[in-house]
Structure 1
């Protein structure tokens, strides 16, 4: 019996040789069988071939561990691991010649199925090899990457990069066009091979590998290769359809909204069935933009008729109105934060913050009054949306403290003697109304009270308050919103400090 033969009738793995070169020859043959195996295995012989896989793992360990102390002082190219790595690279490249030729010559109607099938076969073989070469991945590739060696990848990543270079790039544009065509066919009510389409789309994501960063997924590649063209095709499709549908249902808004609802459900189902999770949210938002928000003004104009005839549809519009207001507030604060980050100080100006979020509220409050006649359901939708973006937005992050603090700082500026908003020793009514309006939406009013008390104390002690009447006026407004108990602390502080200051003034006057 030769050193590397199986024990007759036992199904045991081949015995190891003490010669690394001999082991490497056997190992290469085993790896080649693993790569082509998924295509050739019959159901009865599959498990028989699996018996040799344990031996392959042993070959890796045994060959690599021999003379390890000597090898650790060698250059990368002297390692048996490097020989094995290069062999796998050549093995994958040779394997991919046939799929590339098949796919390049495939007719359009066959390309989708052929690509999905070849992709499956390839990944099955690669997964087996990658498992058997886990030692190589963990104790050589990973180690060398940490040493700064470039363009050295895990075996599964190496295989995907070669598929991308040798197969995917050869048919990328044609494949994308066929996938987008299949999705449009599904939107039009046609039947498509969803399994193949999903596999192809998943391959777009799996191949979004950054070869300059050890093959880690880089979303920008996926977005460029698939998501952006897909969203552009979606926008084109629904822009044309919604314009026709809206015109067709101009006299019957409920009919249009029912059609929109059907489309949104269809897209949600399509997203769940075919798309990567990264694209699902982007798709639904784009569809809502085109089908609803693009026609929102017209919908608002016809709201009263809709409300009188169909309460369920009116509720849906109310929900869309709420979402639209919330998104407007979040987008406004995101723009504000981005501009602040680019400025010299890097911090958000309290006045600019308050003006920004109040502008969103004011605009949509006007819409509520003009278009929806202050209907209670829509008023509640506006309140919920404002409460959301006032408390949690790009400026606040996940902290409920930031908004009340910025609102107090804005109020402090108004009530100081150097305030540009003051007129005739007082404070502008509209500025105070702005503060109180936003204060109503503050989630943690105790935090506001704490910050306000500190600023009030500092103004009064330093003698920089714009006027006592203005201080009393603002405290009275806070009392209207939260009641006497909430404002008592501020009132007592104000009275105590003012009384002490007046008493001191009288004493000094007598001296």
Structure 2
């Protein structure tokens, strides 16, 4: 038929010639058809003329004997199926299902031939009389007389359940036969399958897995139990694919999940020596992955894992950051944090399928415990400082980018990002001024990352420091071009011009420079102020370095690379054989803490001890006497003497930094309050606190008490006013 032709309904036309009806026609014709049906059921259908039988059935319906024919069919079919039912019931043991399967197959073949004979009745009489079709009738009669017969119904169910039990306990059963019998129940309709088999099957399965899970959990560790649960789950899924209705998969897996997983979740995750915490500690990726896959199948499964994991990470993280021993060395401290983060990143990636909810839980846990240690911002900056200095063992330049990305991850967790900025500025300044950095590219890369994270304002001063370094080079070229002829044999001077505000400079730094250097510094001051009007210079001697030539008692000559403070101390020994601590302090006017560190590095570091200290000890006392170490030797001609630096700030320095941070925060809080009030015009106290905290959280966690103080300050300066009726309401004054 071409696609353009309309589809026509097939119709069986009535015979055109007149048929004379015999009064006994119906009985005679039915006898012929009944005999044929009996022969079909008795496997003797080969001698039948289906064309003749069809015509007889056709004529009966045509002459209004459809009802007679239909009832005769029902009666005959019942007779044969009741006979079949007795044969099936008589079958013993394993042959019961085989006999049932054989008789079902026979009935289906018979039913197909009967349908062919009674096709006309199926298409005309049955739709008009609203009876069941021949095929449907055959299924119903089979159901009522065989499957639902009192002797077969219970036996069939028990046999099927027994075979499944045996298969679950390791026996091999005839799956093909099972598939045929289950298919029969499905063919009889969803209700038959569900009521006669599926519901009892699920109930028995629940009992089986309830008992088995109890037995397993008493004698297995968590990992082994999960393997058994996974195996059972897979077995049930495989069983469905082989001989059950596909719709049963969700039902039976729900049973296994409930009995083997949901009912034991808390016991499994908290199992001593093998539960979730043990798996996390020992990096048991396979067991963790299995737990994740099984628990995700049940309600609250993943949240149970996530809660225990979060609690464990927070507890161990809290122990790490509050342990004084682990906090001694800032670099080791941050290394431990990164190791912990890498460990759990790997677990979430490999075992938990990079689940976003687990990643978020990990981040919130780190944010919680990193901020428990108020020194975390300082330590992270010190860690960066350690990695970005030159000559680090085991850190290649290409690895720096990976390290910086990891540092940024920790930086995001900091609530006091402005404190990090304070320390980072100090450490960056030392690296830039001493030339001790892996590369400018690495330094700039981190600044770009910080800018992306926190915005331009956060890094503007840091970028200004790089600009100053470049400008200083140009200034020095100009100085030596203009004044080179006047300098003669004077020492070489290299000055870095640092913009106030961009660098962590201090205005009260005092130090008496040697006369030779003082004269040179004054020449530079005259040159610089002569070329730049309206500027002021103050020397930051605490941030400088010097190269000096030294000759020791044995005639050995060395070039010493020292700090400006160390240079000032060493130059005193050109005119004195020995000096007391107090004399050095009086001559140089270096602050006590800096001078002690300076003298420690000159007299107490093995291999770098160009001075001798009496009495000899690690600590510097106020009555100590210092002299040149005439016996000093070194394999190197150029000896670098580093200052004994406090890896972390002393308590007074920490307090001072904190004070500076608090001072810097005041204008930022005020600016945020004004921005909020300018937009909202009128706002109550609680909402101002909430909005300002939200605006500032990218830099620091604002203290509500401090916000309140800043509001009071703005009211005093007529930026805001209180509402005359409601004292908790503020108005912006334009």
Q: TM-score range by the shorter chain?
A: 0.5 to 0.7
Counterparts in 2 of 1:225 and 1:95: CA distance versus 1, 3 Å: same
2-side partners of 1:296 and 1:471: how far apart? 45
Structure-to-structure mapping, 1:358-397, within 5 angstroms: 366-370=307-311, 375-376=344-345, 377=348, 378=352, 380-381=354-355, 383=357
CA pair 321-263 structure 1, distance change in 2 beyond 3 A: closer
1:418 aligns to what? none
SS where residue 153 of structure 1 aligns? Answer: coil
Distance 1:277 1:371 in 2: 41
* Correspondence for 2:276: 303
Alignment of 1:179 onto 2:147: no
Task: Please list the CA deviations of residues 256-286 of structure 1 after superposition, one character each: whole Å capped at 9, or x if unmatched.
Answer: 2222222222221111112112222201221
8 Å CA contact 2:202, 2:255 repeated in 1: yes
Query: Which residue is equivalent to 2:289?
Result: 315
> Could you tell me how far apart the structure 1 residues matched to 2:174 and 2:213 are?
27
Aligned counterpart for 1:282 among listed residues 246, 251, 254: 251
Distance 1:245 1:111 in 2: 35
In terms of fraction of residues, the more helix-rich structure is 1
**Which stretch has the larger CA shift, 85-94 or 160-169?**
160-169
Q: CA distance change for structure 1 residues 384 and 98 in 2, over 3 Å: closer, same or farther?
A: farther
Aligned to 1:440: none
For residue 31 of structure 1, report the CA deviation from its aligned partner: 6.0
Q: What is the SS of the residue equivalent to 1:320?
A: helix
Question: Helix, strand or coil for the counterpart of 1:369?
Answer: helix
1:225 aligns with 2:196: yes
Please name the residue that 1:106 is paired with: 91
Question: Using the alignment, how far apart are the partners of 1:87 and 1:472 within structure 2?
Answer: 90
Q: Deviations over 1:137-192 (max 9, x none)?
A: 332222222xxxxxx31112222222222222221011111110011111112122
- C-alpha distance in 2, partners of 1:142/1:370? 69
Q: Residues 167 and 275 from structure 1, CA distance in 2 versus in 1: closer, same or farther, beyond 3 angstroms?
A: same
Q: Deviations over 1:309-331 (max 9, x none)?
A: 5312211212233333xx459xx
Instruction: Report which of the two structures shows the higher radius of gyration computed on alpha carbons.
Output: 2
Alignment map for 1:36-115 (pairs within 5 Å): 36-37=39-40, 40=43, 46=46, 49=48, 52-65=49-62, 79-115=64-100
User: What is the Cα deviation at residue 113 of structure 1?
Assistant: 1.5
2:143 is aligned with 1:164 = yes
Counterpart-to-counterpart distance in 1, 2:32 and 2:692: 85
- 2: distance between equivalents of 1:85 and 1:128? 15
Equivalent position to 1:254, from 207, 212, 223: 223
Q: Alpha-carbon deviations, 1:190-246, whole Å to 9, x = none?
A: 1222233222223333334xxxxxxxx5x3x53222111101111111222222222
- Structure-2 residue corresponding to 1:190: 171
Distance 1:55 1:473 in 2: 94
What is the aligned length?
A: 320
1:134 paired residue number: 119
Write the mapping of 1:288-437 to structure 2, written as runs, cut at 5 A. Answer: 288-301=257-270, 302-307=275-280, 308=282, 310-324=284-298, 327=299, 366-370=307-311, 375-376=344-345, 377=348, 378=352, 380-381=354-355, 383=357
User: Could you tell me which residue of structure 2 aligns to residue 18 of structure 1?
Assistant: 19
The alignment's C-alpha RMSD in Å is 4.1
Task: Between 282-291 and 257-266, report the one with greater CA deviation.
Answer: 257-266
TM-score between both structures, scaled by the size of structure 1: 0.53
Measured in 1, the distance between the counterparts of 2:359 and 2:55 equals: 62
Counterpart of 2:206 in structure 1 is 235
How far apart, CA to CA, are the structure 2 residues paired with 1:468 and 1:96?
Answer: 87
Contact 1:368/1:379 (<8 A) preserved: no
CA–CA separation in structure 1 for the residues paired with 2:158 and 2:285: 43
